[in-house]
Amino acid sequence: MADRYPGYDVQSKRWSQSWNEPTRQVIDRRLAIPREPRFFSPDEWRTLQAVCDRIMPQPTDRPPVPLPAFVDQKMADGLLDGYRYAALPPQGDAWRRGLAALDVAARQAHCDPFHDLTPDRQDDLLRQMQTGELAGPEWGGMPCKLFFEHRVIPDITHAYYAHPVAWNEIGFGGPASPRGYVRMGLDRRDPWEAVEANHAG
C-alpha cells in the first residue's frame, strides 16, 4: 500500500495540546494490550488469528496491529455494543460457536483445521460464511451470515482502526482531546492534521 501520509506519526502529538493525560493513558493501554488470550482457548485463538489475517491483511514492513488480542480483550472484559441481534447469542458465545463451526467446516472440506489451510481455502470458507452457505449442528442455530456481518467484520475492523498504527495510515490525528476538531466538512482539515501526499488541501 502506498504511503498516503509519508513521515506522519500520530504519536508525535503525544505532548502537544492535542492530547491530554487521559488521552495518553487510553492510547498507552491500547499499545500495551496483552498478546496472550484471556478469553479464548488456544485452539480458538489460532482460528481467530487466521480469520483476522484474512479479514484485515496487514503490511509486512511493520509490526501488525494485534487484532486477535483486541477481540479477546473485548470478550474478556465484556465490552458490549449496546445492542444485540436476537438471532445471535451473547458476543462471547457467538465468537466461540462461530470459530468452532468454522474449524469443523475446514476439517470437513479439507481435513485440516482452519488455521492450517491455504489463504485461498480460508477465503473460500469465509465467503461461504458471508453468503450464509455454512450450516450444521455446530452453529447451534446461529446464522453464519449474521455472525459474519455483525461480529466478525465489526469486531475486527473496529479493533484495527482503534490503533495508532492504523491512524498513521489514514492520517487521523487521534482523539484530539482537549483541542478537538473544528473543520468538520468534507475535504477540509485543521492545520494540525496530516496532509495527504499529492493533495493540495
Quick: pLDDT tens for 154-199. 999 999 999 999 999 999 988 888 888 888 888 888 888 888 887 5
How would residue 2 be classed by pLDDT, with cut points 50, 70 and 90?
Answer: low
Q: State percent of the chain over pLDDT 90.
A: 77
Over range 23-45, report the average pLDDT. 95
Residue 200 — very low, low, confident or very high, per pLDDT cuts 50/70/90? very low
pTM of the predicted protein model? 0.91
Please provide the DSSP assignment of 58-96 as one string. Answer: --SSSPPP-HHHHHHHHHHTT---S---TTS--HHHHHH
**First CA to last CA distance, the chain:** 21
- Residue 201 confidence (pLDDT) above 50: no
Contact partners, residue 182, CB within 8 Å, separation at least 6: 190
| Residue 36, C-alpha cell as written in the block | 496472550
How far apart are the C-alpha atoms of 177 and 167, rounded to whole Å? Answer: 15
